[in-house]
Protein backbone atom coordinates (compact mmCIF):
# COMPACT_ATOMS: atom_id res chain seq x y z
CA UNK A 1 0.00 0.00 0.00
CA UNK A 2 1.50 3.33 -1.07
CA UNK A 3 0.54 6.22 1.13
CA UNK A 4 1.99 9.68 0.90
CA UNK A 5 3.54 10.73 4.17
CA UNK A 6 3.62 14.27 5.42
CA UNK A 7 7.43 14.08 5.55
CA UNK A 8 7.68 13.08 1.88
CA UNK A 9 5.29 15.87 0.94
CA UNK A 10 7.38 18.35 2.91
CA UNK A 11 10.62 17.16 1.28
CA UNK A 12 9.02 17.57 -2.14
CA UNK A 13 7.79 21.05 -1.27
CA UNK A 14 11.10 22.04 0.32
CA UNK A 15 12.82 21.63 -3.06
CA UNK A 16 10.07 23.52 -4.93
CA UNK A 17 10.29 27.25 -5.74
CA UNK A 18 8.72 29.75 -3.33
CA UNK A 19 6.09 30.71 -5.88
CA UNK A 20 4.52 27.54 -7.21
CA UNK A 21 2.75 27.16 -10.51
CA UNK A 22 -1.01 26.66 -10.20
CA UNK A 23 -0.59 23.01 -11.17
CA UNK A 24 2.03 22.51 -8.43
CA UNK A 25 -0.22 24.24 -5.88
CA UNK A 26 -3.02 21.88 -6.83
CA UNK A 27 -0.71 18.86 -6.64
CA UNK A 28 0.39 19.79 -3.12
CA UNK A 29 -3.17 20.53 -2.00
CA UNK A 30 -4.38 17.15 -3.24
CA UNK A 31 -1.40 15.57 -1.47
CA UNK A 32 -2.27 17.27 1.82
CA UNK A 33 -5.92 16.25 1.52
CA UNK A 34 -4.80 12.62 1.04
CA UNK A 35 -3.20 12.68 4.49
CA UNK A 36 -5.05 11.45 7.54
CA UNK A 37 -6.12 14.36 9.79
CA UNK A 38 -4.68 12.56 12.83
CA UNK A 39 -1.32 12.25 11.02
CA UNK A 40 -1.45 15.97 10.28
CA UNK A 41 -2.23 16.73 13.95
CA UNK A 42 0.67 14.53 15.14
CA UNK A 43 3.00 16.31 12.71
CA UNK A 44 1.49 19.78 12.93
CA UNK A 45 4.85 21.59 12.86
CA UNK A 46 5.68 20.07 9.46
CA UNK A 47 2.10 20.55 8.26
CA UNK A 48 2.12 24.27 9.07
CA UNK A 49 5.42 24.69 7.18
CA UNK A 50 3.68 23.14 4.16
CA UNK A 51 0.58 25.28 4.66
CA UNK A 52 2.65 28.44 5.07
CA UNK A 53 4.47 27.74 1.78
CA UNK A 54 1.21 26.97 -0.03
CA UNK A 55 -0.59 30.01 1.36
CA UNK A 56 2.27 32.37 0.55
CA UNK A 57 2.52 31.00 -2.98
CA UNK A 58 -1.23 31.14 -3.48
CA UNK A 59 -1.66 34.75 -2.36
CA UNK A 60 1.60 36.18 -3.76
CA UNK A 61 1.70 34.03 -6.90
CA UNK A 62 -0.87 33.03 -9.50
CA UNK A 63 -3.13 30.64 -7.59
CA UNK A 64 -5.59 33.34 -6.56
CA UNK A 65 -5.77 34.53 -10.18
CA UNK A 66 -6.77 31.17 -11.63
CA UNK A 67 -10.12 31.18 -13.40
CA UNK A 68 -9.97 27.46 -14.18
CA UNK A 69 -13.18 25.88 -12.82
CA UNK A 70 -11.41 22.64 -11.86
CA UNK A 71 -8.69 24.54 -9.99
CA UNK A 72 -11.31 26.61 -8.19
CA UNK A 73 -13.08 23.42 -7.09
CA UNK A 74 -9.85 22.10 -5.59
CA UNK A 75 -9.14 25.44 -3.88
CA UNK A 76 -12.63 25.28 -2.34
CA UNK A 77 -12.18 21.64 -1.29
CA UNK A 78 -8.83 22.51 0.26
CA UNK A 79 -10.35 25.45 2.17
CA UNK A 80 -13.08 23.16 3.52
CA UNK A 81 -10.44 20.55 4.40
CA UNK A 82 -8.52 23.17 6.40
CA UNK A 83 -11.68 24.15 8.27
CA UNK A 84 -12.25 20.48 9.08
CA UNK A 85 -8.77 20.25 10.61
CA UNK A 86 -9.83 22.62 13.40
CA UNK A 87 -11.41 19.60 15.08
CA UNK A 88 -7.98 17.90 15.12
CA UNK A 89 -5.82 20.97 15.81
CA UNK A 90 -8.10 23.32 17.82
CA UNK A 91 -5.18 25.45 19.04
CA UNK A 92 -4.63 26.59 15.43
CA UNK A 93 -8.26 27.46 14.65
CA UNK A 94 -7.47 31.08 13.74
CA UNK A 95 -4.59 30.14 11.40
CA UNK A 96 -6.62 27.41 9.71
CA UNK A 97 -9.64 29.71 9.28
CA UNK A 98 -7.56 32.54 7.85
CA UNK A 99 -5.77 30.17 5.48
CA UNK A 100 -9.13 28.77 4.32
CA UNK A 101 -10.31 32.32 3.54
CA UNK A 102 -7.11 32.98 1.58
CA UNK A 103 -7.58 29.88 -0.56
CA UNK A 104 -11.12 31.02 -1.35
CA UNK A 105 -9.90 34.48 -2.32
CA UNK A 106 -10.21 35.11 -6.06
CA UNK A 107 -8.35 37.71 -8.07
CA UNK A 108 -11.68 38.91 -9.47
CA UNK A 109 -12.84 39.60 -5.90
CA UNK A 110 -9.67 41.56 -5.17
CA UNK A 111 -10.01 43.48 -8.44
CA UNK A 112 -13.64 44.38 -7.75
CA UNK A 113 -12.84 45.57 -4.23
CA UNK A 114 -9.93 47.65 -5.55
CA UNK A 115 -12.17 49.28 -8.18
CA UNK A 116 -14.76 50.10 -5.51
CA UNK A 117 -12.10 51.66 -3.27
CA UNK A 118 -10.76 53.74 -6.18
CA UNK A 119 -14.28 54.95 -7.01
CA UNK A 120 -14.82 56.07 -3.40
CA UNK A 121 -11.41 57.78 -3.36
CA UNK A 122 -12.22 59.57 -6.65
CA UNK A 123 -15.50 60.83 -5.19
CA UNK A 124 -13.67 62.15 -2.13
CA UNK A 125 -11.05 63.85 -4.31
CA UNK A 126 -13.70 65.44 -6.55
CA UNK A 127 -15.79 66.73 -3.64
CA UNK A 128 -12.71 68.14 -1.87
CA UNK A 129 -11.48 70.06 -4.93
CA UNK A 130 -12.25 73.81 -4.68
CA UNK A 131 -14.55 74.99 -7.43
CA UNK A 132 -15.07 71.44 -8.66
CA UNK A 133 -18.75 72.10 -9.29
CA UNK A 134 -18.05 75.20 -11.38
CA UNK A 135 -15.82 73.43 -13.88
CA UNK A 136 -12.29 74.36 -14.90
CA UNK A 137 -11.21 77.97 -14.69
CA UNK A 138 -9.28 79.51 -17.58
CA UNK A 139 -5.64 80.29 -16.92
Q: State pLDDT tens for residues 57-113.
A: 988 876 667 778 898 899 999 999 999 999 999 999 999 999 999 998 865 454 454
Global pTM value: 0.73
pLDDT at 61: 78
pLDDT at 1: 34
| Whole-number percent of the chain with pLDDT over 70 | 72
Q: What is the mean pLDDT of the chain?
A: 83
**138 or 4, higher pLDDT:** 4
Domain residue limits, the chain: 6-127
Q: Give me the mean pLDDT over the 42-59 stretch.
A: 94
Burial of residue 28 (CB within 10 Å: 0-12, 13-18, 19+) is: buried
pLDDT at 96: 97
| Phi and psi, residue 31, nearest 5° | -60, -45
Count of CB atoms situated within 10 Å of the CB of 39: 15
Q: Give me the mean pLDDT over the 108-123 stretch.
A: 58
pLDDT at 105: 81
Amino acid sequence: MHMLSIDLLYQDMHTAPSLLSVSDELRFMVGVMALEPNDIARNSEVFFKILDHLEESHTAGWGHASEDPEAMKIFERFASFLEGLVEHIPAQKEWLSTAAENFRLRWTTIGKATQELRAVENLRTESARPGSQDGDQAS
